[in-house]
Homo-oligomer: A and B are copies of this chain.
Amino acid sequence: MKLSKKTDYALRVLFTLVEHHGRGPIPIRELARRNEVPKRFLEHIMLDMKAKGWVDSLPGKQGGYVLAKEPSKVTMGEVIRHFDGILAPIGCVSATHYQRCSQESVCRFRRILLDARNYVARLMEQATLASVFLGAPVKEREVFAPGLMAGDGI
């Protein structure tokens, strides 16, 4: 799984909307500024997310975007899959975008790629905007200290 900027931008904005949930719409201008996303680019992303039913828009003065679903009803997996298409590291181990490979029956390393995909897919599929939002931002000392991550409020 490689996160494109588009997906990263989408997630940044979604969490801003989660934080503001129930307190009225936020205009794109503000969403773009707060999350350092190019505004014209974000327009397309928001439109896309509106079509998916994750957000809703209110035009006119005082308008902007709001979350359209409960934060517990949208998962990281859905968002990443929508924008990047695939969660697996390669097509032959993808559930949603499976692509057959002629080497499957003899391939020695497909197994480990499947392990990676299974872990990541399960992690992302059970991670709702709500549950992820509750976890605090990563503290510097935690970075690359794998021991500290296990069962860590995820």
A: which residues have CB within 8 A of B? 1-3, 8, 11-12, 15, 18, 35-36, 76, 86, 89-90, 93, 95, 102-116, 118-120, 122-124, 127, 132-133, 135-138, 142-144, 146, 149, 152, 154
Q: Is B89 in contact with A2, judged by CB distance below 8 angstroms?
A: yes
Q: How many copies of this protein are present in the complex?
A: 2
Q: Is B105 in contact with A1, judged by CB distance below 8 angstroms?
A: no
Q: Is A133 in contact with B115, judged by CB distance below 8 angstroms?
A: no
Nearest CB on B from A22, distance (A): 17
Question: Given A15-B108, A105-B137, A137-B105, A143–B115 Cβ distance below 8 Å?
Answer: no
Residues of B contacting A143 in the complex (Cβ-Cβ under 8 angstroms): 93, 114
Q: Is B95 in contact with A144, judged by CB distance below 8 angstroms?
A: yes
Bound complex: CA of A107 vs CA of B119, how far in Å? 22
| Given A18-B108, A114-B142, A115-B123, 20 more pairs with CB closer than 8 A | A1-B1, A1-B2, A3-B89, A15-B107, A36-B102, A93-B143, A104-B137, A104-B138, A106-B137, A107-B138, A108-B135, A110-B137, A110-B138, A111-B149, A112-B127, A114-B143, A115-B149, A118-B146, A119-B123, A120-B120
**Of the residues B103, B116, B118, B119, contact of A36 by C-beta under 8 Å:** B103
